[in-house]
Amino acid sequence: MLPATAPTLSPPGETFDVAVIGAGVVGCAVVRRLALAGAKVVLIEKGSDILSGASKANSAILHTGFDAPPGSLELDLIKAGRAEYLAIAGSLGLSLVKTGALVCAWNDIEAEKLEAIAAQGRANGIAALELLSGHAARATMPGLSERLVAALEVADEHIIDPWTAPLAYLTQGAKLGARLLRHAELTEGRYDGTWHLSTTAGELRARAVVNTAGLYGDIVDARLGFTPEFEIRPRKGQFVVLDKAAAAHVPRIVLPVPTEITKGVVVCPTAFGNVLVGPTAEEQDDRVRATVEKATLEALLARGAEIVPALAGLPVTAVYAGLRPASESKAYRVFCRPESRAVTLGGIRSTGLSAALGLAQHALRLIEGFGLGLAPVETSPPVCLPNLTETLPRDWQQPDHGEIVCHCELVTKREIEAALASEVPPGDFGGLRRRTRAGMGRCQGFYCNARLAEITRGHLAEPLAVEGAAS
Amino acid sequence: MSEADVLIVGGGPAGVAAALELRRQGVARVVLLEREPHLGGATRHCSHSPFGMREFGRVYLGAAYGRRLETEIARAGVALRTGHSVVRIEPGGQLHVTSPRGVETLAAQRVLIATGTRETPRSARLVSGDRPVGVVTTGALQAYVAFHGLMPFRRPLIVGSELVSLSAVLTCRSHGARPVAMIEPGPHPLAPAPLMAFPRLLGVPFHAGADLVDIRGTTRVEEATVRLADGTVRAFACDGVLFTGRFTPESTLLRQSTIGVDAGSSGPAIDPFGRTADPHVFAAGNLLRAVETGGWSFREGRAVGRAMAEDLAEERARGSAPGDLIPVTFDPPIKLVVPGLIRRGAHATPAFADFQLRFLRRARGRLVLLIDGRETWSARGTWMPERRILVPIPRDAHTADAVHVRFEEAA
């Protein structure tokens, strides 16, 4: 059933220390960091599940920051976030696949830019950078087109599971008492020494607020009564996911020489054993719709096959599109308003997955100045989420795993049931897919969709089966 | 050490028929691996198509056919292992299998892959729009109805006009769903024209030359936009989109193995004995080419089973190595030719008496079989996409240096 929505969420006299607004990757990381710092946290989310906005669609790369703007807050937070990710990956069971990346120059003009990119990377404190001839680069990845002129190798780039990581952050927060409210869109906030927040799921009170609303960051700032200091300009990215047979040809992340607008079309392996081609960068006004377009997807496939010729003709497993919460500026839009105990983490354009833990550290530093009198918890609770990546053992490899429901991605029934009964259960089918990979494979539900409809009955906001039995 | 003489992957009509035939030919240890709890494959949820007439002399519907297969398998002494998923094929036919016992490696003297076919989902068709709930294939729809008594929508738009698309219309209408329309992007329906009266009789308008250009819906499908043949764009209010047909072999295991798949059929290339480029590994049924009926797949499985038994006996008798392979080449717009390989000098009885051809599009002209450059067969006609065309394999094809199927399109 849907989560119960009480008209008043804070019992009389109860006030949360911090309300975090928006359950994307940044919001989930902030909740964890604040809960570890001893705060009583509530996370409010307007969607039916976490990661419903920008965070559901990205290229799943844990960046080093080699190409981030030198001296920027973004660079600092990518490096801090990445360092923390590497430090906690073991204890939180987070995936980490060190593929390295090749910034590929396909003509002499691009090749000339590689030295400057390397210099910027070294200035950013990234040591493992090496300029390679096209031949030498292809020796590390023979699938690359012979047209390759030169490449910059960034050895420390990783790929990760982009959905389990934020879920692990939030799960740890939840184990420390943090609450998640779904279907709770902020409609108004008022500060009189305490924040009084109205949401579509009821009223609540908090001593401080953190705006991690992503695509709605500017709107949430306005609803909190602030004059927004930035404007979200959604930038759509479309992706194509290729069949697992493609993975043998793409062991590394293949980056283009970036332009002013975007990092460009990436070809990279995923932690789940597929290959990703994308994203595009398309400005749009709509903050909700992230449509895929056939012509664009065909162009991505063609581009992928130019870069790695063996990808030509391989089957498409999935297509998706996401919106980046870009703003009028390339920089992160971070604002702290101590007089009203509010922090805004806005304009996290395209490095949110890498920087989330760093942003959370930064938010805590700012909130520590609010005098909330927080006392850090003594031990961080263990979190053990199922591994979904192909680099670590999966449930189907264990004896007694029982029924396999999704044959393409080898998802067991008990994995699905565990997700439905977990600390942060999926609120919709997308959330179930992100937690288990069920239905994410090449058949896209031909074999398992009906079984999933049966197993998830009563659990999802939009059920797979319509009301009433088949007559 | 081999645990079995023959391992069969897939308990649909082809795999079961091969298992029964191998036992009938005296092969002792035949093991059938099936990932589902029951046999039958795609026939299990096809509640409209009659199965079994040719092989068992009576008609079964849906899961009843699978139960008959289970009875036959038990009677024949085939070791049936359900709940077994093959996750990798190694050279020589070693199989990595996961089952309730965990992961194990199974080996046999010969392996038959018969993993069947499935429909092409929305993603692989690159359809534009949102990605809401309510977008499924016919196989999924029929599983909703047959196994769980559920429905994924009430007012779907149906995409496709193959036989399976008509089956989808029937499933909808008999389970309380009213399709808003049925569309086919090509200029003509793919099912035989007389059958296309059915959707209209059931109150479902049919549009040929109609392209699905957009799907809208925030959580569930709300609207599907179609560009009709005359260029006008029409939005259909609906709560689902049903993608029917465009079957594709379930061949990823082979794509990831050293055997690979044929560019035309997307299944493994085989010789007239059903053998792949790996002489230990055979293939049969709809994995070879989409799509044929259950009865066709059963006969094909039986024939390949017989060829495998003969191959095993031959190896015991003479220890002969299989001959070298040449590819069967063909002209566009021929989509595929199965068998796509000729194994020269093999002297067992072929499992395939005919080349099976399919066209990519409707085409009129002369089809010619050339053996070492000589015309040995030809026919004129109008060839339709998704229809089976049979070209007899002449005896001298088995010793040829070149086999080519030529198409001379009429002006």
pLDDT in tens, A306-326: 999 999 999 999 999 999 999
Last residue of a domain, one of B211, B245, B279: B245
Mean pLDDT of A235-243: 96
Mean pLDDT of A57-79: 96
CATH number of the domain enclosing B223: 3.50.50.60
Low-confidence winner among A142-151, B8-17, B54-63, B87-96 (lowest mean pLDDT): B54-63
Distance CA B356, CA A266 (A): 41
Percent of chain A whose pLDDT exceeds 70 = 96
Rounded (5°) CA angle B372-B375-B381? 135
Domain that holds residue B192: 123-245
Output the CA–CA distances (angstroms, integers) from residue A21 to A33, A209, A362, A389, in the order listed: 15, 7, 16, 29
Positive or negative: CA dihedral A271, A277, A282, A288: negative
Q: What pLDDT is stored for residue A1 in this prediction?
A: 36
pLDDT digits 0-9 by tens, A323-341: 999 999 999 999 999 999 9
- Any A CB within 8 A of B188 CB: no
Q: How confident is the model at residue A82 (pLDDT cuts 50, 70, 90)?
A: very high
Output the CA–CA distances (angstroms, integers) from residue B13 to B59, B248, B284, in the order listed: 14, 17, 10
CATH number of the domain enclosing A168: 3.50.50.60
Number of structural domains in chain B: 3
Same domain, yes or no: A289 and A347: no
Q: How confident is the model at residue B19 (pLDDT cuts 50, 70, 90)?
A: very high
| Residue A112, in any domain of the structure | yes
Same domain, yes or no: B84 and B190: no
Average pLDDT, chain A: 94
Q: Do A469 and B147 touch (CB under 8 A)?
A: no
Last residue of a domain, one of A324, A355, A387: A324
Same domain, yes or no: B161 and B115: no
Output the CA–CA distances (angstroms, integers) from residue A298 to A281, A404, A437, A451, B136, in the order listed: 15, 33, 25, 32, 22
pLDDT digits 0-9 by tens, A279-309: 999 999 999 999 999 999 999 999 999 999 9
Q: Do A465 and B148 touch (CB under 8 A)?
A: yes
A74 pLDDT higher than 60: yes
Number of structural domains in chain A: 3
Low-confidence winner among A144-153, A365-374, B347-356 (lowest mean pLDDT): B347-356
Same domain, yes or no: A334 and A450: no
pLDDT digits 0-9 by tens, B79-102: 999 999 999 999 998 999 999 889
Which of B119, B129, B144 lies nearest to residue A292, judging by beta carbons? B129
Percent of chain B whose pLDDT exceeds 90 = 88
Number of residues written out for chain A: 471
- Are the CB atoms for A64 and A83 separated by under 8 Å? no
Smallest Cα distance from A406 to chain B, Å: 11
pLDDT digits 0-9 by tens, B253-293: 999 999 999 999 999 999 999 999 999 999 999 999 999 99
Q: What pLDDT is stored for residue A6 in this prediction?
A: 43
Q: What pLDDT is stored for residue A328 in this prediction?
A: 94
Same domain, yes or no: B298 and B340: no
| Residue A375, in any domain of the structure | no
Contacts of A245 in chain B (CB under 8 A): 252, 255-256
Mean pLDDT of A222-246: 96
- Cα Rg of chain A, angstroms: 22
Same domain, yes or no: A342 and A407: no
Domain that holds residue A429: 395-455
- Please give the interface size between A and B, counted as residue pairs whose CB atoms are below 8 Å apart: 155
Q: Do B118 and A447 touch (CB under 8 A)?
A: yes
Last residue of a domain, one of B210, B226, B245: B245
Contacts of A318 in chain B (CB under 8 A): 123
Q: What pLDDT is stored for residue A10 in this prediction?
A: 65
Which amino acid, B130?
A: D
Which of B83, B133, B139 lies nearest to residue A462, judging by beta carbons? B133
Same domain, yes or no: A167 and A145: no
Average pLDDT, chain B: 95
Low-confidence winner among A415-429, B45-59, B100-114, B209-223 (lowest mean pLDDT): B45-59
Which amino acid, B85?
A: S
Phi, psi angle pair for A404, to nearest 5°: -95, 120
Distance CA A31, CA A168 (A): 11
pLDDT digits 0-9 by tens, A403-441: 999 999 999 999 999 999 999 999 999 999 999 999 999
Same domain, yes or no: A135 and A255: yes
- Are the CB atoms for B362 and B387 separated by under 8 Å? no
| Residue A51, in any domain of the structure | yes
Same domain, yes or no: B288 and B391: no
* Beta strand residue intervals within A125-272, DSSP E: 129-133, 150-154, 158-159, 179-181, 186-191, 195-199, 202-211, 235-242, 253-256, 266-269
- Any A CB within 8 A of B339 CB: no
* Beta strand residue intervals within A63-201, DSSP E: 97-98, 101-105, 129-133, 150-154, 158-159, 179-181, 186-191, 195-199
Q: Do B123 and A317 touch (CB under 8 A)?
A: yes
- Are the CB atoms for B306 and B297 separated by under 8 Å? no
| Residue B133: other Cβ atoms inside 10 A | 25
Complex ipTM, two decimals?
0.95
Contacts of A453 in chain B (CB under 8 A): 144, 148, 150, 152
Q: What pLDDT is stored for residue A467 in this prediction?
A: 82
Q: How confident is the model at residue A263 (pLDDT cuts 50, 70, 90)?
A: low
Contacts of B263 in chain A (CB under 8 A): 313
| Residue B50, preceding peptide bond in cis (omega within 30° of 0) | no
Distance CA A192, CA A207 (A): 10
